[in-house]
Chain A
Amino acid sequence: MNFVIVGGGKKVDFLVQALLAKNNKITIINENERECKRLVHEHDIPTIFGDGSKPFILEDAGIKKADLLIALTPKDEDNLVVCQLAKKQFQVGRVFAVVNNPKNVSVFKRLGVDTVVSGTYTLASMIVQMASMDEIVNSISIEDGKIQLIELHVTKGHRICGKQLSDIDFPENAIVGCIIRNGNVFIPNGRSEIYADDKLTILASAEVQQEAVSALIGS
């Protein structure tokens, strides 16, 4: 796939390495000449020196052939304009914006840029989740936090340990979607038995997530 990335710094470095490993074509736009030189030196990919929120710079970067655009400059207003230009003027199939102010996640969505990521927002919701319960090893918010994907580490003291999933009273709008045991993945049914050291992947609506986890660990 063809990617255009607007921005620079460590975030871009990491993203570029991950994308190049999967044989994608990438062009970067950055408005700092020195950073451009560093990016070219570091990754050996086409880099355009200029303001990515100007249509002609986007054209120079081959936006017309891009499948996907990612805006991750330090300025939210620039990221918004870059994404809107990519969508409205160049009909890029998918645009991603990274926002620095977490409050702008909903602002961007209301202004038509629907794939928005905020590092602070994601991190904060993960920390809140993990801090609330020791057993949760990982969690991801989906659909503005309405749905939670939770990874739970089962230990001996838990109610579910040694039982079948159908033995416990699980809330509606929650499901154990996956069991990870010794690195192997199983899709469970009601008769699946759970052992200590299993990792369960739970999909739950925000309202019942606490209840779902409590049903499994039994506190």
Chain B
Amino acid sequence: MSFNGSAKNKSNLHIVVGCGRLGSNIATILSSNGKDVVVIDNDPDAFRKLGSEFSGFTVEADGIDVETLEKTGVENALAVIAVTEKDNVNLMVAQIAKSIFDSPLVIARLYDPDKEIILNGTGIKTIYPNKLSLAALEHMIAE
């Protein structure tokens, strides 16, 4: 598999690391919107969660392995989305994508907001499910 493109002209490749509920759904949505999508997960059974509209690639491998990311074309990726169940894996994947491969858009899902300090100043975007739920709950209660 090869993706052409220079630093100026990135492909529309989106790499999703972690094929859990969130990962499989975002991968399916991106794919059905016409993006090139590669999903990485070390459990081959996880790919069953991908929807029928998914037409990207699946890679059974460890997302924190630099070589795995290189082979999937991380250098030319438009976005790297780290959404495994493990915060530390997401933190490492996101930092590799941003600091080593200079990916324009890197997003990490973190369950533990206390780890935010690690990503300060890196330009990596974060999603905190707890904060989102909390905001939604407050909103519902206020209504």
Tell me, rounded to whole Å, the shortest Cβ–Cβ distance linking B86 to chain A. Answer: 7
A76, B89: Cα distance in complex, Å: 9
Task: Give the contacting residue for A80; candidates B67, B86, B88, B100; CB below 8 A.
Answer: B88
Task: Give the contacting residue for A85; candidates B65, B67, B99, B118; CB below 8 A.
Answer: B118
Task: Give the contacting residue for B100; candidates A88, A101, A107; CB below 8 A.
Answer: A107
Tell me, rounded to whole Å, the shortest Cβ–Cβ distance linking B130 to chain A. Answer: 14
Q: Are B67 and A103 in contact (CB under 8 A)?
A: yes
Look across to chain A and name the residue whose beta carbon is closest to the beta carbon of B92: A77
- Digit string of A87-106 for contact with B (CB within 8 Å is 1, else 0)? 01100000000000101100
When distances are taken between beta carbons in the complex, the residues of chain B under 8 Å from A104 are 66
When distances are taken between beta carbons in the complex, the residues of chain A under 8 Å from B66 are 103-104, 107
- Digit string of B83-110 for contact with A (CB within 8 Å is 1, else 0)? 0001111011001100110000000000
Task: Give the contacting residue for A88; candidates B86, B112, B117; CB below 8 A.
Answer: B117
When distances are taken between beta carbons in the complex, the residues of chain B under 8 Å from A78 are 88
- Digit string of A60-98 for contact with B (CB within 8 Å is 1, else 0)? 000000000000000111101100110011000000000
Q: Are A75 and B88 in contact (CB under 8 A)?
A: yes
Q: How many residues of A contact B (CB 8 A)?
A: 20
When distances are taken between beta carbons in the complex, the residues of chain A under 8 Å from B96 are 107, 111
**What total count of A-B pairs have CB within 8 Å?**
54
Tell me, rounded to whole Å, the shortest Cβ–Cβ distance linking A81 to chain B. Answer: 4
Which candidate, A9-17, A49-57, A157-165, is the interface stretch facing chain B?
A49-57
When distances are taken between beta carbons in the complex, the residues of chain B under 8 Å from A80 are 88, 91-92, 95
When distances are taken between beta carbons in the complex, the residues of chain B under 8 Å from A110 are 99-100
When distances are taken between beta carbons in the complex, the residues of chain B under 8 Å from A111 are 92, 95-96, 99-100
When distances are taken between beta carbons in the complex, the residues of chain B under 8 Å from A101 are 65
Q: Are A77 and B118 in contact (CB under 8 A)?
A: no
Secondary structure type dominating chain B contacts? helix
When distances are taken between beta carbons in the complex, the residues of chain A under 8 Å from B100 are 107, 110-111
Look across to chain B and name the residue whose beta carbon is closest to the beta carbon of A111: B95
Secondary structure type dominating chain A contacts? helix
Task: Give the contacting residue for A103; candidates B65, B86, B89; CB below 8 A.
Answer: B65
Tell me, rounded to whole Å, the shortest Cβ–Cβ distance linking A31 to chain B. Answer: 12
A53 and B115 in contact, given A76-B64, A88-B120, A103-B65 (Cβ under 8 angstroms):
yes
A81 and B65 in contact, given A110-B99, A110-B100, A111-B95 (Cβ under 8 angstroms):
no
Tell me, rounded to whole Å, the shortest Cβ–Cβ distance linking A198 to chain B. Answer: 43
Residues from 111 to 133 in B contacting A, C-beta threshold 8 Å? 112, 114-115, 117-118, 120
When distances are taken between beta carbons in the complex, the residues of chain B under 8 Å from A53 are 87-88, 115
Q: Are B112 and A54 in contact (CB under 8 A)?
A: yes
When distances are taken between beta carbons in the complex, the residues of chain A under 8 Å from B86 are 77
Look across to chain A and name the residue whose beta carbon is closest to the beta carbon of B121: A88
Tell me, rounded to whole Å, the shortest Cβ–Cβ distance linking A57 to chain B. Answer: 10
A55 and B89 in contact, given A103-B66, A111-B99 (Cβ under 8 angstroms):
no
5 residue pairs, one from A and one from B, having the closest CB atoms: A77-B88, A77-B92, A81-B88, A84-B118, A55-B114
Residue numbers of A with Cβ under 8 A of B are 53-56, 75-78, 80-81, 84-85, 88-89, 101, 103-104, 107, 110-111
- Other A-B contacts than A53-B87, A53-B115, 10 sampled, CB-CB below 8 A, are A53-B88, A56-B114, A76-B64, A77-B91, A80-B88, A80-B95, A81-B115, A85-B115, A85-B117, A111-B99
